[in-house]
Structures are given as structure tokens and as C-alpha cells.
Structure 1
């Protein structure tokens, strides 16, 4: 909220003392200039006035320009004794005639000489200021032993919602401006201490006073706003990704690699063919087989003891057909005296006629059955099965012998 401030300077003879470098008056002027600049920068509508307490003269009325304040403070010279009660009442009248009545009222008093009023009078004045909604800050330096007790009672009487402050700076404590800058007076109304004041008033401009450099302050404000929006988008983006992951978290994991179908795809994947294709490729890479041609699980070993001879022969034939039909055919043709068949390749696979011929060869079955675990080739039942198979294919055997004789001629 905008504020109207009257700064009261101590221009008594006590200001000639050198316990503050270089003198009390010079240290007070530096602190006053810093305070006026801070109040003006704190809010664009703030106004500051300046007056002296020994001569009780208003040097500058309420204004928002710091130039006249600096010039008036520079021309102040020590003369006479201060009248604390009268000076504060004059400052109250100046604030009463301010143009913007809605502005808050504040008086800042620099005191470096003894106060002539008693404690009861100061408490009465403090209650009057509190009734008028006037806050007051007091900077006491150089005469802290004589003034501290009175000023504490005065601040207690005028204080309302911690809006008034007392700063006591003993002699030899260092620079008066530094002590003032580290107090709650700079910034007003209990705001954080610091040169420039205002606490977080310029936080939206990156700490830059917009009245001092409007272009830089606006650029910083835009940059901060863009950064804030970018952070909000980053906070929202992980949430959406997590939601999408949660949606597909319950998708069934296939026990064996298989092609991705619409019934097996996770929820929401039916409308995204690219995601389905990516999942299929991932499954293909993990299994090492094509998703369209799944690898068959290894067959369980059958129970030969419970199988009949015909079932055992049929199982042996089924197991040997894919890989051994071509070598068996080559061996049989070689034993018959013919030319050895060409080895089976991917381009020249066994035809159905060759497979049928192998299936009717008794010697092939005899060799095959003899290699099965737990099977005795001399078993009468197996011998009977082989003889029946040989009698069924006897005509073919005679034809093979005739072909052999013709070839030898």
C-alpha cells in the first residue's frame, strides 16, 4: 500500500560530535538519503517529506522526487536544541494535509541529542499518534543512555500491529547507514531489512525496481513468467506419462513369444498401430523368433511303455520326417546300387513321393526302432511288425532288384 513519510532530522549542536564518522550530522545525512531513496523505490506512489527538529522547519513537502530531498538534506547545518514533542506534532500536521488521503502515514525520526520531554508526555503523544493511525520509526544514535528508556515507552504507546520500530545505534558501532539498512525500518511496516526496502515488493520483477529501469524490470518479469509456465508444463508432463504407463501396466505378458493381436494388446493400444508394431518387434527381439512364426515349445518325451508297437512306429516316423527323410532316401538308393541322391538343401526339399517311399522301407524302420531308448529290436512283437511291413512292400522290393539287375547289364 502507498505510504506518506515525513523524515525528521536532528540539526542540534550535538551533531558536531565525531563519535560517528566523520560527524553525527554527516552520518545522519547519509542514512537519511538512503532512507528517502528506499521509501521512494518501495512503491511508485510513495511520497517523502523532510523537516528539521531544532528549527522545526519543513524543508521539503511530500513528494516522489528524491532530488529535492538530497539537496535539502545537504544544506542542513547544526543550530540550537531539538524539541521532540513539537517536531513530531508538526510532522503530524504535514501528514494530515497530504493529497492522497488513502495513503498510510509514517514519521521517521533521527535523534542524536538528549530529549527534553519526560516519559509521561511522550506516552501521551504516542497514544495520540496511534489514534490517528500514524506509525513512527525512531533512530537513536550517540545518546542512547539518556533516551533509550523514554523512546521504548513512546514506541510501546504508539505501536499498532508492530508497525513502529526503535533502532538504537551506540557510539562506535560502525556506520549508521549500515545499521539502518539491517533494521526493520527500511521497508517499513515490519518488512525485511535491506537496502532498497520493500521486501518482496519487486519479486515479480526479479528484484529490480520498475521505476528505476522499467525496460529491464519488464524483461525480467516476462522471463520469470515464461520460466514459471515451463516448470508447470514439466510438472504436468510426468503425470501424464505415469498415467499412460499405469494404463498399460495390467497388460498380459505372453508366456511364449507370439504375434501381437488386438485381444492381447494392452488397453488403449488398439488405436495406436505404431505402438503395437513396436511391441511386436520388442517381443521378436527378446525371443529371437519371428512374431508371425512363433517357435514351437519342445515336445515332452512320450511314455513308450504304454504305447503299442504301431504307435511307437508312427511316432518314430513323425519325428524323423522333417530332418531324416532326405538322408534316408539317399542311403537306400545307394544300397540299391543306384546313384546317390543329391543332398537335401533348402532349394531341393524332399517331395511327398520320396516321403511315401521312405515310409514303406522296412530297413529304415528297423534302423530307426533300434535307436529308440527302451526298445528291443529282437522283441517278437517288433519282429512281427517288421515282417508284416516287409510283406506289404514286397512287390516294391522285387521291382528294385530287377532295376538293379538291369543297371548292372
Structure 2
């Protein structure tokens, strides 16, 4: 994320009343300024943006460098169409605003719109471009409306100011397209090259729906934090835990099978008393080998030998010696 201070210059001269760009040249710029503000501040929370209007009798600083969208909207509310454009003077004032930025670690950038004929001669613009390059100020020029008349001057100006391809000239012809959409596709915000601002996080344009974009970003951060807390608090499972659980289940199954075999053997009533005695010994031996089974349990004794139990409970006849 680039740490940057940006000053946006609006051409609010009488030429901006023209309706060859939707809805007018002026309104198209206002929409594009809001879009650029959101792109810059979303790219880095410490980025700041200022706005200058170069129409009228002289350029006017509408918004000093800020990251507060409310400050931007209040400043833009004072904007109106008037007078003529002062292309070169507006850039010089923007350079002074950047020079007095609070965070000196921020890189400096100027984005200027021009929608009226530029009266300044080409040599003066080249000198201005070289001065920007010397002072480390990048500049993006968005030319529309009178772009044919200004093309040669602006190309020479941007070439003089360019350093490491950090300055750009974007020409937007008239048509049914939206100016901010053309800027989005340009090198100013990355365009199709995948640079900064080209694709929006979560697929939501923060300029179109800033509240939704903020809510999605906060939700993602909360989910990441929750996952980190869960991972930190979750104890590691012992490596033999699964095997121990399986052994316990198999032991229960084997016990049930043995009990079922004992029950079936007791239901066989066709064996002789001698066989029953042998079976009783076998059953007693099996029961004694079962874990957790008490062979002296009265209920179990009753199930194993009901006849014997009855004989034991029956009172013996007293001898009749008399």
C-alpha cells in the first residue's frame, strides 16, 4: 500500500457546463473526485486527499489534506461553476499544499482535471513539469471535453514531469460512458494491469456503497480474530485417543456377544441333568472371565439355575423316625 498525499484539481470553469459528458462536465468531475477520494483512502488509511477548484478569478483550496470523507463533502458543497480555468496556477498551489503536508513520509501526487482550453504556452508547461519532477511530485492529467486542442501541450507537460512512469495522461473522449468508470480502467488507479485500486475488496465498490464495504471488511477482520483465538485455546488431542475409543467399543461388542451366547445356552431344555451340570460349570467359568460381572449376583444366579435355586429354597423334610 502506497503512503501518499494527493491534491485533486477540478476545472469548474464555465466550460464545465457543457453536457457532452453525462450528466455534465462539472457533475462528472464531482462524481470522479468522490471516487478517487475513496480509492486513495481505501488503499492506505494514512493517505490524505485535498481538493482545489481552479475556476473563477483565481484557484481556491476547497479541502485541505484529509482522510475524513465528511470534510471532503462539506468542502465540495461550496463548489460552483464560474469564471475561467487557471491550469498552471492551480498546479503550483497544489504543490504548495503538498509541501506543507503533516506526514513528510507521504509521497506527493497531483491529479488535475482539464475540460477547457489551456492558455499557458507549451514551454511554460514544460518548465512546470520539470519543477514537479525535481521536487518529487507525480502528476496525473485527466483531459476531456477540449482534449484535442490540449493534447500536444499536455503530452509535453506530462513527459517533462514523468519519473519512473509515475505520471500519466488520460484522455477521455465524449460518449455515453461515465467519467469515473474511465478513470477506474486507466493507469491512474491500476486499470486492467492489476495495480492499486483496480479491483475492489469483496467485489464491492466503496464509492458506490461505502457502508457495505466497511461492514464486509470489519466482518472479515472479526472472523480472522475469532479463528486465531480458537486456534490458541484449542488443546491438542492425544495421538492415541482415537485408538483407545475404538478398543473400548470392541470390548463392549465382545461382552454383548458372550452374554447372548450364555442366554441362548440357558434356553436349551432338552439336555440331561448330567449335561446341565457340565453346562453349569462351563457357564460359571465363562461368567468368571467377564470383566465387570459379579458371578455371585443373586439376579444372575436366579437366571442361571432356577431349578437348583428352588431346591435350595425348599425346606427339607424332617426325618420320621418314629
Contact 1:51–1:59 (8 Å) recurs in 2:
yes
**1:185 counterpart SS class:** helix
- What per-residue deviation string (whole Å, max 9, x for no partner) do you get for residues 31-70 of structure 1? 1111111111110100011111123110111011012212
Matched residue, 1:170: 173
**1:126 counterpart SS class:** helix
> Quick one: distance in 1 between partners of 2:26 and 2:45?
29
Higher relative contact order (CA 8 A, sep 6+): 2
Mapping of 1:155-194 within 5 angstroms? 155-172=158-175, 174-186=177-189, 191-192=195-196, 194=198
Matched residue, 2:36: 35
Matched residue, 2:250: none
Q: Are 1:154 and 2:157 counterparts?
A: yes
> Quick one: distance in 2 between partners of 1:48 and 1:27?
19
Q: Return the offset for 1:2.
A: 1.1
Q: Are 1:101 and 2:104 counterparts?
A: yes
- What per-residue deviation string (whole Å, max 9, x for no partner) do you get for residues 73-121 of structure 1? 2431111111111110000000000010111000010111111111111
Q: Return the offset for 1:162.
A: 0.8
- Pair 153,172 (structure 1): closer, same or farther in 2 beyond 3 Å: same
**1:110 counterpart SS class:** strand
Contact 1:126–1:157 (8 Å) recurs in 2:
yes
Contact 2:109–2:137 (8 Å) recurs in 1:
yes
- Pair 193,151 (structure 1): closer, same or farther in 2 beyond 3 Å: farther
Mapping of 1:233-252 within 5 angstroms? none
Q: Return the offset for 1:215.
A: 2.9
> Quick one: distance in 2 between partners of 1:125 and 1:4?
19
- Pair 115,190 (structure 1): closer, same or farther in 2 beyond 3 Å: farther
**2:27 counterpart SS class:** helix
> Quick one: distance in 2 between partners of 1:21 and 1:97?
36
> Quick one: distance in 2 between partners of 1:58 and 1:139?
19
**2:189 counterpart SS class:** coil
Return 5+ residue gaps in structure 1 as ranges: 198-207, 227-409
Mapping of 1:85-100 within 5 angstroms? 85-100=88-103
Aligned length: 217
Q: Return the offset for 1:149.
A: 1.3
Matched residue, 2:59: 56
- Pair 214,18 (structure 1): closer, same or farther in 2 beyond 3 Å: closer
> Max radius of gyration: which structure?
1
- What per-residue deviation string (whole Å, max 9, x for no partner) do you get for residues 105-147 of structure 1? 0001011111111111111100000000000111111111111
TM-score of the superposed pair, with normalisation by structure 2: 0.62
Q: Are 1:137 and 2:144 counterparts?
A: no
- Pair 190,88 (structure 1): closer, same or farther in 2 beyond 3 Å: farther
Matched residue, 1:45: 46
Contact 1:10–1:53 (8 Å) recurs in 2:
yes
**2:187 counterpart SS class:** coil
